[in-house]
A and B are shown apart, each in its own frame.
Chain A
Amino acid sequence: MKFDYNQFAQSLDSYTDMDVKDEHNGNDGWVKWSGSSSNSICNQVIEYTYSDQTSGKTLQYRSWYMETSTMKSDGGMIVSVKIDYERSTGDDHIILIAGYDVNGYINFAQCSIQFHGASQDNLTVAPITSSDTTDIALTMYNTLYDLQKNVDYGGSTDNAGRKSFAYITQLHIYAMNASVKV
């Protein structure tokens, strides 16, 4: 089983109000992370914006080169990613994990979210599995939406940015689904 990183970047860019930067750089937007000199293949990111139509704000994010591990006999794959919501005083982090079966179909997703300087708002979502729902990404969106809808994150930018995590996480799952190849 393989993970197609270029497909991931293209897929993320294709969704409404999403724009991956440097998408025509020959690497579909994957760039070496400027904050480190490491030559590891994992020292790459895609930077992108989400234009929130409700607030009128354009919000900035970064996703790191996905880490994958496969099950014995290529019988499945786990994909994980750290997503940074770029804030002026310190980034928030989402860790998203998804599992894929031997045919490359998603069988679970879960996530954990850390809010910079606001640990009382931290969230974890227990595994959502293919026996719970036919659309794990949508169920993740709904779960996060419900957890966040009544939270006031302070400023209007943080309220727009942090409450977009449901959409951003949902799209990451769809883009990962498109990128796991058997």
Chain B
Amino acid sequence: MSLTFDLQTFQSLFPDSVSDKNGTAIKYTVEDSDYRIYNPTWSSNNTVLTVNLDHIRSGATDDHATLIVTYDSNAGIESIEGTWTAGNDGYTIPKIVITAVDASAEFLGAVGALETVGISEAVANGIVEAFDTFCELFNTLSPIVVNLTDNGGRFYFMAVVCHTVNRMNASVTAS
């Protein structure tokens, strides 16, 4: 099994995005702010995708996040590591680590429903992991980021990060 990442598919999943930084990134507007998503890159023999993201702040240093997503051989998320630095004051939140191995039981119940609509067990498991990872990632970031300043764009950046992981996941296939 080897994994493939489809950059075009990934970028098409960001609404009304435009190319940025000489094609090395896209930029999109959402929830009253602008964000930049750099093209994810493979490492570790195409099992790890790294993506850099910016919350674009005009006239100030951008907020930066980096996510390192490790996939299993079925293209499901195995783990995520993340770093986050707020622009200007440079505040960095402690490195976050999320593992999908203990997928919550509440989502596992969905596997049957997924299979009844013709989705394979491997993909169904990946979808359950994606729900679980999204929840856990947001729930890990939320208590920290909520206190970083009362700026809506910096605050919503954590949802952008979670959607980005989900869109990466939808763009990785095993063959």
Contact = CB atoms under 8 A, between A and B. Distances in A.
Contacts of B20: none
Contact of A112 (B123, B142, B163): B142
A33 B138 CA distance: 26
A67 B31 contact: yes
Contacts of A67: 15, 30-31, 159-160, 163
A107 B166 contact: no
Interface size class of B (residues with CB under 8 A): 35 or more
29 contacts: A35-B32, A36-B29, A40-B28, A42-B15, A65-B31, A69-B170, A71-B130, A71-B131, A72-B130, A72-B169, A75-B127, A76-B130, A78-B166, A82-B156, A90-B150, A95-B142, A95-B158, A99-B135, A102-B113, A107-B106, A108-B131, A110-B138, A110-B139, A112-B145, A114-B155, A119-B147, A124-B142, A127-B139, A131-B105
A115 interface: yes
Nearest to B143: A124
Interface string B69-107: 000000100000000000000000000000000001111
A101 B130 CA distance: 12
Interface size class of A (residues with CB under 8 A): 35 or more
> What 10 A-B pairs come out closest when comparing CB atoms?
A131-B106, A40-B29, A75-B127, A82-B31, A40-B16, A129-B106, A112-B142, A124-B142, A69-B166, A64-B31
Interface string B146-175: 110010100110111011001101100000
